[in-house]
Amino acid sequence: MISILVIALLIALAAYFVLAKTWGDEPKAKKQEKAEIMRQLLALSEQENRPSTNLPPDKLHATRRGLANTPRKS
């Protein structure tokens, strides 16, 4: 009875080590790769936050303050 439990335990341990070895081989991003990704994301966010230069200066100034859709007093 005990020998069956020992054999089952050895089989379970072997299966665990085989699965750990196959799943543990995924390469992780290195510091340089992470830094490059962060630079790219920062550049994209700066491009999105940059106001459009196609607007006239008065509209550009108003959009920065969030007043583009408010009626102007004449």
Alpha-carbon distance of 28 to 30, in angstroms, equals 6
50 pLDDT above the threshold of 70? yes
pLDDT band at 70; cut points 50, 70, 90: low
The pLDDT value recorded for residue 59 is: 54
Indicate whether 40 pLDDT > 90.
yes
Domain boundaries, the chain: 32-65
Which distant-in-sequence residues (6+ apart) come within 8 Å of 52 by Cβ? 60
pLDDT at 39 (0 to 100) = 94
Model-wide pTM > 0.85: no
| pLDDT at residue 16, rounded to an integer | 94
User: What pLDDT is recorded for position 28?
Assistant: 66
Burial track 26-64 (b if 16+ CB lie within 10 A, e otherwise): eeeeeeeeeeeeeeeeeeeeeeeeeeeeeeeeeeeebee
